[in-house]
Amino acid sequence: MKKKNLIFSAVGVGLLAAATVSGFVHFQKQHTDHFLKVGIAVYDLEDPYIQTLTDAIRSQLKDKTIDGREIIYDVFDASGSAVTQNTQLYDILQQEYDVILWNPVSPTNVVGILEDAQEQDVPVILFNREPAKADLEEQDNVWYVGTEAK
């Protein structure tokens, strides 16, 4: 059952990422290159579940194009540190990624990043660790994909 949920989560995150990037292509700043940049921020790649989920997301994004632009991605491993992850996310925003896939170290500490992403019109897809509904509802370009912890 866990493997089935993992597959559904990975497929859901991957497809939502592709759809989100596709939907925002026309509204985002166009890069001078031919790529759509996806930043994947995970809480800890030493966690076997997160490693498997991240591999599945990579598989969903591999060799995909949207509007003739190849999807490229970088994975950022916070190694369980919220401070490290926040630094990585601010770097992602400064480097003008087109979308962020985010597995938060601390789902109670997402508002600042979400606000900054909204200011820069960068869509964010949170996965696996659900933040408070109020945090999701306050932003326009934010989604959560996950399964019930049971």
pLDDT of residue 26: 41
Handedness of CA 15, 16, 19, 24 (dihedral sign): negative
pLDDT of residue 19: 52
Integer Cα distance of 100 and 123 in angstroms: 6
pLDDT band at 109 (very low <50, low <70, confident <90, very high): confident
pLDDT of residue 45: 97
CATH number, domain 2-145: 3.40.50.2300
Q: Is the pLDDT of residue 65 over 80?
A: yes
Integer Cα distance of 138 and 123 in angstroms: 13
pLDDT band at 146 (very low <50, low <70, confident <90, very high): confident
Coil/strand/helix, residue 105: coil
pLDDT of residue 9: 57
pLDDT tens-digit readout, 19-62? 554 444 444 444 446 889 999 999 999 999 999 999 999 999 98
| Count of beta carbons in the 10 Å neighbourhood of residue 83 | 9
Q: Is 35 left (phi over 0), alpha (psi -120 to 50) or beta?
A: beta
pLDDT of residue 70: 92
pLDDT tens-digit readout, 82-104? 999 999 999 999 999 999 999 99
Hunting for tokens 């949920």 — which residue is that? 5
Q: Tokens standing for 122?
A: 């960068």
